[in-house]
Chains A and B, each alone.
Chain A
Amino acid sequence: MTTSNATVPAQHGMAEHSHGAGVPIQIRSARLRSADVADFGPVSRVEEQYRYITSERLAGLDADTLDEYIGDISIKHPEGVTTAWVGSDHPAFGGAGLPEDRPSAAAWGSAEQAYLVTIPGDAKPDCEVQIGINSETTTPSALHVIIDAKPFSRGTVILDHKGSAVLGENVEIIVGDEAEITVISIQDWDTEAVHNSAQFAKLGRNSKLRHMVVSLGGKTLRVSTSAEFTATGGDVELLGMYFADAGQYIENRLYVDHAVPNCKSRVTYKGALQGDKAHTVWVGDVLIRMAAEGTDTYELNRNLLLTDGARADSVPNLEIETGKIEGAGHASASGRFDDEQLFYLQARGINEREARGLVVRGFLNEIIQKIGNEEIESRLSASIEAELERSGS
C-alpha cells in the first residue's frame, strides 16, 4: 500500500503553501540505480528527478563523460585519519550507494579514482576533518569522495566547496556499526559555479549520522542526499540551509530509505529566497518498507520568501508500507515574510531593515545552531549577513 498524508501546521505568515503532488509519481524504491551513465536517458521534465532542473542549468554535467577533477583538494585532519586515492576496485568504492540520475552517473563513471578518507574506530568526537575543494576550472569535471567512518568512530567531516567550478560530484558516506558522525557539505562557490552533488549515506547498526547541506553561493546548486539503513537502531538527521539570490537555482533532494526495523530519521531544511527568479526546490522522499517496523520519521521544509518574484517548490513524499511504526509525518510550508513579526520588532524601535535581518537570521539560525561547531556557526552567520547585505535588506 502506498499512502501519503500531509500535515501542514498552521503557522503565522506561512500562508502560501506550495504543496506539490502528495502522491509519489512512481514507487520510490523502483527508481533505477546504476553506475553506468548509458542506463540513464536525457535530462527531461517528464522524469521525476529532473522535474525542475534543465539540461541547460546543468551546464554539461549531464554529458556522457566529464573531465576528471584536477582542482585543488586541501585536507586537514588529526592523526589516525588516513586519506588515499583509490580505484573503483576498492571495496569502499560504491560502498554507500549507486547513482540515481544522469549527472550523478556521469560523474561516477568519469572519476577513475575516489578520494577516500578513513576515520578509524578509535576516533573521538573532537576528530575534525576538513576537506577543501577549491576549484578554478570551468570545464565540467567529476569528483568522487568516500568517507569511511569505521565502526565505533566519532567525528566530523566538513566538505568545503569554493571557487569557480562546473562540478559533478559523488560523496559516499559509510557509517559503520555504532559510529556517530557529522558530515557538513558547504556550497559557497563563486556566483557562476554549477554543482551537482549526490551524497549517499549507508548506516550500520546503532549508528548515527548528522548530515548537513549548506548552499549559499553558485548559479546552480543541486544536492541529492540519500540515507539507507542496513541494520536496526540507526539514526539519521538530515539538515539543510540555503539562501537563494536573484537568478540563483538551489535544489535539494532527500531520500530516506527505511528498509529495516527501529530506525529514526529527521529531515529539516530551511531556506530563504530573495530577489527576482531566485528559485529553490526541495523534494523529500521517505520510504518506510514493509520490514521497517518501529520506524520514527519526520521531515520538514520551510521557505521564507523575502521578496516578490522568488519561487520555492516544496514536495514531501511519504510512502508507508507498514502500519506498525512509531510515527511518520511531514510538514512543508513556504510563506511570505511575516508582517506581524516585523510589526512587533518595529514597535520596539528596531528599523525595518534590521528587523528583517533579525527575522531571517532567526529563521535560519535554527539550523545553524544544530551544527555544534562554533567556528562553522560564526562563519555561516557571517555568510548570511553578507547575503542580506548583498540584497540590500
Chain B
Amino acid sequence: MAILQIKNLHVTVETEQGTKEILKGVDLTIRSGESHAIMGPNGSGKSTLAYTIAGHPKYTVTEGEILLDGEDVLEMSVDERARAGLFLAMQYPVEIPGVSVSNFLRTAKTAITGEAPALRTWIKDVRGAMDALKMDSTFTERNVNEGFSGGEKKRHEILQLELLKPKFAVLDETDSGLDVDALKIVSEGVNRAKEANDFGLLLITHYTRILKYIKPDFVHVFVAGKIAEQGGPELADRLEAEGYDRYVKA
C-alpha cells in the first residue's frame, strides 16, 4: 500500500509580469487503488499541479510538501521521481525527433527497473499492450510523438503507463481530443493497468464522459489554485449540470 500526500502546496511561476502564484494551498491524499478525479475551469491550475508533482523546472514550490510513502518528493529530480513510481501522462506530449518509440520505451523501462528487460518477453509485452490500445505495430518504428495525431499521442502515453507500472499516475486531460471509440479504448487501457498494478490515480478532466468508464472514488473541484470542494462521483454529475459558477463567484 503506497500513499501520496500533497500538503498545503503553494506554487509560483515566473511570468513577464513577474512572479505569479498559481497553486494556493492544495491538500490531497491518494492511496494505492484509489481513483481521484479533478475537475475545474481552464486556467485554475490543474496542469500546474500535475507538472509540480512530476517536477517540471518551470514551477517553484514556495510552501507545502509532497510526500511519497513519507519520502520528500520535492527533493528528488524529475527522473528520480519517475523511478520512485510517479507517472505523468502529459496534456501535450512533446515530439522527440530521431528517437524511435521502441528505443524510447526500452530505455525508459530499463531506467525505471534498473535493468534491461529480457528482450523476448519485453517485445511480447509491448506488442500486447499496443494491440490492446489498437495501436498499429509500425508505431514502434516511428519517432516519439512525431507526427502523431492528438489521439495517437494520448494512446502512446497510456501505453507507457501500462508498461512502466508506476505507483501513482497523474493523467492530465488524457481524454481531451479523443473520439468516442478512442475514449473507450484508452479508458480500458487505464483500467487494465490499474487492475494489474493497483496504482493510485489522479485523473484531470473537463468531461464526465470519461468517468463513465473510469469510476472515480473521489471528485475534487479545482478552482483558483486550490480544491474548492470534494465529493463522490455524484459531484461530477452536478458539475456537468451546473458548471463552476457557484465556485467562481463564491
Question: Closest Cβ of chain B: how far from A378's Cβ, in Å?
Answer: 15
A346, A358, A365: the one within 8 Å of B79 (CB): A346
- Kindly state whether residue B94 has any CB partner on chain A within 8 Å: yes
- Kindly state whether residue A53 has any CB partner on chain B within 8 Å: no
- B224 / chain A contacts, CB cutoff of 8 Å: none
The reply to whether B98 and A346 form a contact with Cβ atoms under 8 Å apart is no
- B57 / chain A contacts, CB cutoff of 8 Å: 339, 343
The reply to whether B94 and A358 form a contact with Cβ atoms under 8 Å apart is no
Question: Closest Cβ of chain A: how far from B100's Cβ, in Å?
Answer: 8
- B144 / chain A contacts, CB cutoff of 8 Å: 344
Can you report 5 residue pairs joining A to B where beta carbons are below 8 Å apart?
A: A348-B160, A349-B164, A358-B96, A359-B99, A365-B98
B82, B87, B97, B107: the one within 8 Å of A366 (CB): B97
The reply to whether A346 and B77 form a contact with Cβ atoms under 8 Å apart is yes
Question: What CA separation (Å) do A262 and B239 show in the bound complex?
Answer: 62
The reply to whether B164 and A348 form a contact with Cβ atoms under 8 Å apart is yes
How many A residues face the partner with a CB closer than 8 A? 26
A339, A349, A363, A365: the one within 8 Å of B82 (CB): A349
Question: What CA separation (Å) do A350 and B93 show in the bound complex?
Answer: 16
Question: What CA separation (Å) do A350 and B78 show in the bound complex?
Answer: 9
- Kindly state whether residue B185 has any CB partner on chain A within 8 Å: no
Question: What CA separation (Å) do A344 and B83 show in the bound complex?
Answer: 14
The reply to whether A363 and B78 form a contact with Cβ atoms under 8 Å apart is no
- Kindly state whether residue B143 has any CB partner on chain A within 8 Å: yes
A residues 326-363 near B (Cβ < 8 Å) are 338-341, 343-352, 354-355, 358-359, 361-363
Given contacts A347-B90, A349-B111, A362-B96, 15 further A-B contacts (CB under 8 A): A338-B94, A344-B94, A347-B79, A347-B82, A348-B79, A348-B104, A348-B112, A349-B79, A352-B79, A355-B79, A358-B96, A362-B98, A362-B143, A366-B97, A369-B98
Question: What CA separation (Å) do A12 and B104 show in the bound complex?
Answer: 19
The reply to whether A349 and B83 form a contact with Cβ atoms under 8 Å apart is yes
- Kindly state whether residue A201 has any CB partner on chain B within 8 Å: no
- Kindly state whether residue B56 has any CB partner on chain A within 8 Å: yes
- Kindly state whether residue B3 has any CB partner on chain A within 8 Å: no
Measured CB to CB, the residues of A under 8 A from B are 12, 338-341, 343-352, 354-355, 358-359, 361-366, 369
Nearest chain A residue, comparing its CB with the CB of B107: A350
The reply to whether A347 and B88 form a contact with Cβ atoms under 8 Å apart is yes
Knowing A346-B77, A347-B78, A352-B77, say if A341 contacts B160 (CB, 8 Å): no
The reply to whether A358 and B56 form a contact with Cβ atoms under 8 Å apart is no
The reply to whether A361 and B98 form a contact with Cβ atoms under 8 Å apart is yes
The reply to whether A358 and B107 form a contact with Cβ atoms under 8 Å apart is yes
The reply to whether B98 and A366 form a contact with Cβ atoms under 8 Å apart is yes
Question: What CA separation (Å) do A346 and B96 show in the bound complex?
Answer: 13
Knowing A348-B160, A349-B108, A358-B99, say if A340 contacts B94 (CB, 8 Å): yes
Knowing A339-B57, A343-B78, A362-B143, say if A350 contacts B97 (CB, 8 Å): no
- B54 / chain A contacts, CB cutoff of 8 Å: 343, 347
The reply to whether A350 and B98 form a contact with Cβ atoms under 8 Å apart is no
Nearest chain A residue, comparing its CB with the CB of B108: A348
- A351 / chain B contacts, CB cutoff of 8 Å: 77, 79, 111
- Kindly state whether residue B71 has any CB partner on chain A within 8 Å: no
Q: Per-residue CB proximity of B56-88 to A under 8 Å, as 1/0? A: 110000000000000000000111011100011
- A338 / chain B contacts, CB cutoff of 8 Å: 94
- Kindly state whether residue B240 has any CB partner on chain A within 8 Å: no
- Kindly state whether residue B237 has any CB partner on chain A within 8 Å: no
The reply to whether B99 and A346 form a contact with Cβ atoms under 8 Å apart is no
- B93 / chain A contacts, CB cutoff of 8 Å: 344
Nearest chain A residue, comparing its CB with the CB of B79: A346
Knowing A348-B164, A349-B83, A362-B99, say if A341 contacts B108 (CB, 8 Å): no
- A339 / chain B contacts, CB cutoff of 8 Å: 57
Knowing A339-B57, A344-B93, A362-B99, say if A350 contacts B108 (CB, 8 Å): yes
- B104 / chain A contacts, CB cutoff of 8 Å: 345, 348, 358
Question: What CA separation (Å) do A345 and B90 show in the bound complex?
Answer: 12
Q: Per-residue CB proximity of B86-126 to A under 8 Å, as 1/0? A: 01101001111111000110011001100000000000000
- A347 / chain B contacts, CB cutoff of 8 Å: 54-55, 78-79, 81-82, 87-88, 90
Knowing A343-B57, A343-B78, say if A348 contacts B111 (CB, 8 Å): yes
Question: What CA separation (Å) do A364 and B99 show in the bound complex?
Answer: 10
- A369 / chain B contacts, CB cutoff of 8 Å: 98
- A363 / chain B contacts, CB cutoff of 8 Å: 97-98
- A344 / chain B contacts, CB cutoff of 8 Å: 90, 93-94, 96, 144
Nearest chain B residue, comparing its CB with the CB of A351: B79
- B88 / chain A contacts, CB cutoff of 8 Å: 347
Question: Closest Cβ of chain B: how far from A344's Cβ, in Å?
Answer: 5
- A365 / chain B contacts, CB cutoff of 8 Å: 98-99
The reply to whether B107 and A346 form a contact with Cβ atoms under 8 Å apart is no
Among A339, A343, A361: residue with most chain B CB under 10 A: A343
- B160 / chain A contacts, CB cutoff of 8 Å: 348
The reply to whether A343 and B56 form a contact with Cβ atoms under 8 Å apart is yes
Question: Closest Cβ of chain B: how far from A78's Cβ, in Å?
Answer: 32
- A340 / chain B contacts, CB cutoff of 8 Å: 94
Question: Closest Cβ of chain A: how far from B98's Cβ, in Å?
Answer: 3
Among B96, B103, B107: residue with most chain A CB under 10 A: B96
Question: What CA separation (Å) do A314 and B19 show in the bound complex?
Answer: 35
Question: Closest Cβ of chain A: how far from B167's Cβ, in Å?
Answer: 13
Question: Closest Cβ of chain B: how far from A370's Cβ, in Å?
Answer: 11
The reply to whether A350 and B94 form a contact with Cβ atoms under 8 Å apart is no
The reply to whether B96 and A350 form a contact with Cβ atoms under 8 Å apart is no
Question: What CA separation (Å) do A124 and B112 show in the bound complex?
Answer: 48
